[in-house]
Amino acid sequence: MEPAVESGIVGAQASKQAKEGSKNRSRRRWRKGKVKASAFSHSMDLRTMTQSLVTLAEDNMAFFSSQGPGETARRLSNVFAGVREQALGLEPTLGHLLGVAHHFDLDTETPANGYRSLVHTARCCLAHLLHKSRYVASNRRSIFFRASHNLAELEAYLAALTQLRALAYYAQRLLAINRPGVLFFEGDEGLTADFLQEYVTLHKGCFYGRCLGFQFTPAIRPFLQTLSIGLVSFGEHYKRNETGLSVTASSLFTGGRFAIDPELRGAEFERIIQNLDVHFWKAFWNITEIEVLSSLANMASTTVRVSRLLSLPPEAFEMPLTSDPKLTVTISPPLAHTGPGPVLARLISYDLREGQDSKMLNSLVKSEGPRLELRPRPQQAPRSRALVVHIHGGGFVAQTSKSHEPYLKNWAQELGVPIISIDYSLAPEAPFPRALEECFYAYCWAVKHCDLLGSTGERICLAGDSAGGNLCITVSLRAAAYGVRVPDGIMAAYPVTTLQPSASPSRLLSLMDPLLPLSVLSKCVSAYSGTEIEDHSDSDQKALGMMGLVQRDTSLFLRDLRLGASSWLNSFLELSGRKPQKASSPTAEVVRPTESMRRSVSEAALAQPEGLLGTDTLKTLTIKDLSFKGNSETSDTPEMSMSMETLGPSTPSDVNFFLRPENFHEEGEAKDDVGTMDRAPRVRAAFPEGFHPRRSSQGILHMPLYSSPIVKNPFMSPLLAPDSMLKTLPPVHIVACALDPMLDDSVMFARRLRDLGQPVTLNVVEDLPHGFLSLAALCRETRQATELCVQRIRLVLTPPAAPLS
């Protein structure tokens, strides 16, 4: 080759590489600039940020208004006009909320509550719009400016900002009607129904498309996008009557059109969360239980010597009383709903310890068998001085210890103690109190047989997340009621402490949370409380399997919607043994005479203790009322709140449907305690004149107000427990998420304990979603939050220092 030609080729290649390098550097500078701009925006005070956004919006609006009659230019002008309007309307409300938010903190060291979270979320949206407005102002004249792409993103975030403004007005309304320092609304249940009636009609799809996870740390967003694509794809397979585990697994990876169309994905996500029942969510959340996916998760987790699934036999045993170890109390096997049955639990230990390969323990191993990793060990390690009893989350309806095994293996290594994780029975097949009974039985069994688990049991910690955190607290309450050993401490990660439908500022975040939407929360609570609608199926229908049952129930649900909510309501009331206070119109008729309302709990455990929660005051009982209940109102017997002697019959509470069908008869309904749909919701007055939030296009939401009296049972909602019960709890360590709809549960529970002088700590992690423990390996932020949970457990397991002589 001629030297000149070769030199030319080399020069061309060098020039090409230089251009590519320049382009890559430009992209990196743009991304870095975006991060810096976002950080700068978050460091700005709210008023300065709003003024900067309004100035940029007006400049962009004027520019695109002068670009002629084109459709894209017109829409860009309109979207910036909308951004200006919503930002100016939102800023005073956010300023007001921020000015009083400190009154609702646990203390000055823990500045966290739902008001702060709502303001932070709105600031995130404003910051994104500010950055995007700057980008448009800088690049709008460029030939490379992608007008359509930027328009779609701006419209999505404008919709989100509009909905956030509505939530801010709701929060302002709560601030006006709540008692000082109280986050949950107490009092008029009609106002709660009004709030939910209005709230559930809001448009949500904008938060599940382009804006998905904007409030969380950037490292979480790709996971949330993958999750949303998997969810809507799973829903597509579900609609097409495709069943079987192979289809279920493959549905996660076949989201083609949803992956490239965020608006379509958001609309489908909203449809799914509003319309599909709890069986769908159970099936979707249990996808991680599929062998292929669980094997992949285990490959990426810590290798342990022991991971055994145990089946604890349903046999009564004796436990010594803490007040007098010479006396014992009988711990009976779980009985509610399905009668005596074994309780499953998984033993996880990083080292093979004494007792863990004993004949007695081997006889309890379930068919899954021992999973011993063959690593060279000279001998068995001695028994640990401590033991962790873990209770998994999953909304009381889904998942097992297998889903949580990856992070539990890491805990076993870091803590150096054995962990037993309880696989309690799940709702709706096993509603309250079955899970509580099983967890309490397994906890007592572990305390009594800790030597078989590789521990001496000197220190015991109860640890759980979400629903598991709730069960950790209630198991401790029950242990105290029985008089047996309570754990040395509790670590509860983002727990739910009240299952009432009480409005709170953090629960407003469920409008946009992809992991805890309000309608899904309602379905889980209804399933756990036993108030889910149950259809009596014949033997052929029982053979359909899980997905077949899901499809059948959904088709019945859609049929009910077509027949109208008012007729369904009359059928519901009659079949549950209650009559409407006023007769319905002559045209109303029972729609489904074969349906019945499942009892909330078994006859032996459904209602509250009369002395503790009298039936006459159930509807007006508040946290404050419970705080003044005396010790005499709580039973000292082990059967407290759980026996036939102390628990009477119960009937479902009033049911509210929030959206009224067009043919709903208004005559005489205004005075009916059951339905409040026909009068204008009082919360609408919270909106200023001229402001209209976006409404959902998904039709009527099938979501009953889950206000069954059973949810006020302190063994279901420990936040409502009287002082005398809460004083029996050991030290409680709570790790919550600032952006979690359940944040106020943690804050208010910690405040109640602190007011009683009980040892409690509350740590709140920023920018992470509910359920971060299951995402521990995802990013640095989730690893740090998980390590915080480990530190709290280690604090419980460390013996207190001996006092100086």
Active site residues: 466, 740, 770
CB distance 439 to 326 below 8 Å: no
Q: How far is CA 572 from the centre of its chain?
A: 28
Angstrom CA distances, 417 to 247, 298, 381, 445, 785, stand at 39, 19, 11, 17, 20
CB distance 347 to 310 below 8 Å: yes
CB distance 585 to 603 below 8 Å: no
CB distance 604 to 336 below 8 Å: yes
DSSP of 661-717, one letter per residue?
Answer: -TT---TTGGG-SS--TTS--GGGGGSPTT----B-SS----------GGGGSTTT-
Q: What is the largest CA-CA distance in the chain?
A: 104
Q: Are strands 328-331 and 317-320 parallel, antiparallel or unpaired?
A: antiparallel
CB distance 659 to 569 below 8 Å: no
Question: For the chain, how many residues are written?
Answer: 805
CB distance 126 to 53 below 8 Å: yes
Give the Cα separation of 282 and 376 in Å (integer): 40
Q: How far is CA 446 from the centre of its chain?
A: 28
Give the H/E segment covering residue 172: helix 147-177
CA distance between the termini of the chain? 93
Return the exposure string of 368-394: e unless at least 16 CB atoms fall within 10 Å of the residue's CB, then b. eebeeeeeeeeeebebbebbbbbbbbb
666: amino acid identity, one letter: E
**What are the structure tokens assigned to 7, written together?**
């030199």
Give the Cα separation of 312 and 442 in Å (integer): 8
CB distance 643 to 631 below 8 Å: no
